[in-house]
């Protein structure tokens, strides 16, 4: 095989890999709470895990009178972009309440007042939240909660890497790879004839 052909095949392989989404794996351990609080530092207040609306387990957080925190530290790549996602359900708006989400010391979400819990978190709602952040090598996600006298349900916590721009569909990747290899084959046939 000629040096040119090796270069062409390498380019085709690299082109396919270059558009594949990086960091496809979730960095959070047990983000669905299916193994109770394995991987998490649970809050000091009222907390539990039980089946949610969809039948899978969810964290039930209901500290009364003060804010306590659920947290997990994970390893990431310094300077890379990440997406924090989670689902939060609040069954009602009764009583003082507060909920927050943070990466390290950066507050991403703050609902209600952390000291008084007033005016409280609006409810009921069932929302998915998504926030991007830049990794530092080791980061901690934390959720602050206070819920007098009820609870929040937290589920599907994940941290995944993001690629700048749009992420191509898998079928687009197959087409790109097939096209690049076809081009390499055509060039090879043409060179053999010459």
Query: What's phi and psi for 132, nearest 5 deg?
Result: -100, 150
In a domain, 142, yes or no: yes
Determine which of 42-51, 142-151, 168-177 has the lowest per-residue pLDDT on average: 168-177
Residue 60's pLDDT is what?
94
**Cβ 50 vs Cβ 36: under 8 Å:** no
Number of domains in the chain: 1
In a domain, 3, yes or no: no
Question: What are 26-55's pLDDT values in tens digits?
Answer: 999 999 999 999 999 999 988 899 987 667
CATH number at residue 127: 2.60.120.260
Residue 159's pLDDT is what?
98
Q: What percent of the chain has pLDDT over 90?
A: 53
Residue 180's pLDDT is what?
55
- Structural domain including 91 reads 23-165
Question: What are 67-120's pLDDT values in tens digits?
Answer: 999 999 999 999 999 999 999 999 888 888 999 999 999 999 999 888 888 877
Determine which of 86-95, 135-144, 175-184 has the lowest per-residue pLDDT on average: 175-184
Locate 33 and state its tokens. Answer: 């709470």
User: Which neighbouring-strand residues pair with 152?
Assistant: 61
Residue 166's pLDDT is what?
41
In a domain, 29, yes or no: yes
In a domain, 122, yes or no: yes
Does the pTM surpass 0.75? The reply is no
Q: In 34-177, at which residue ranges do the beta strands (DSSP E only) sit?
A: 47-51, 57-61, 68-75, 81-90, 97-103, 106-111, 125-134, 138-147, 152-161
Q: For residues 53 and 48, what is the distance between their CA atoms, to the nearest angstrom?
A: 15
Determine which of 94-108, 144-158, 177-191 has the lowest per-residue pLDDT on average: 177-191
In a domain, 30, yes or no: yes
Q: For residues 123 and 180, what is the distance between their CA atoms, to the nearest angstrom?
A: 53
In a domain, 152, yes or no: yes
Per-residue pLDDT, averaged over 1-9, amounts to 55
Locate 133 and state its tokens. Answer: 């952040």
Locate 53 and state its tokens. Answer: 């609306």
DSSP 8-state symbol, 116: T
Residue 115's pLDDT is what?
85
Q: For residues 117 and 73, what is the distance between their CA atoms, to the nearest angstrom?
A: 26
Residue 19's pLDDT is what?
43
């Amino acid at each position: 095989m000629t040096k040119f052909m090796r270069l062409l095949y390498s380019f085709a392989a690299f082109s396919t890999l270059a558009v594949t989404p990086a960091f496809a794996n979730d960095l959070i351990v047990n983000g669905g709470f299916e193994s109770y609080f394995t991987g998490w530092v649970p809050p000091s207040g009222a907390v539990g895990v039980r089946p949610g609306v969809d039948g899978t387990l969810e964290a039930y957080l209901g500290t009364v009178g003060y804010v306590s925190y659920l947290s997990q530290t994970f390893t990431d790549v310094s300077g890379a972009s990440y997406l924090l996602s989670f689902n939060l359900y609040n069954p009602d708006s009764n009583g003082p309440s507060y909920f927050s989400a943070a990466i390290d010391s950066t507050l991403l979400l703050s609902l209600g007042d952390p000291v008084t819990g007033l005016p409280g978190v609006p409810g009921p709602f069932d929302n998915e939240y998504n926030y991007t952040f830049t990794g530092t090598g080791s980061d901690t996600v934390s959720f602050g909660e206070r819920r007098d006298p009820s609870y929040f349900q937290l589920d599907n916590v994940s941290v995944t890497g993001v690629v700048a721009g749009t992420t191509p569909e898998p079928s687009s990747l197959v087409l790109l790879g097939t096209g690049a290899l076809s081009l390499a084959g055509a060039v090879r046939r043409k060179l053999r004839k010459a």
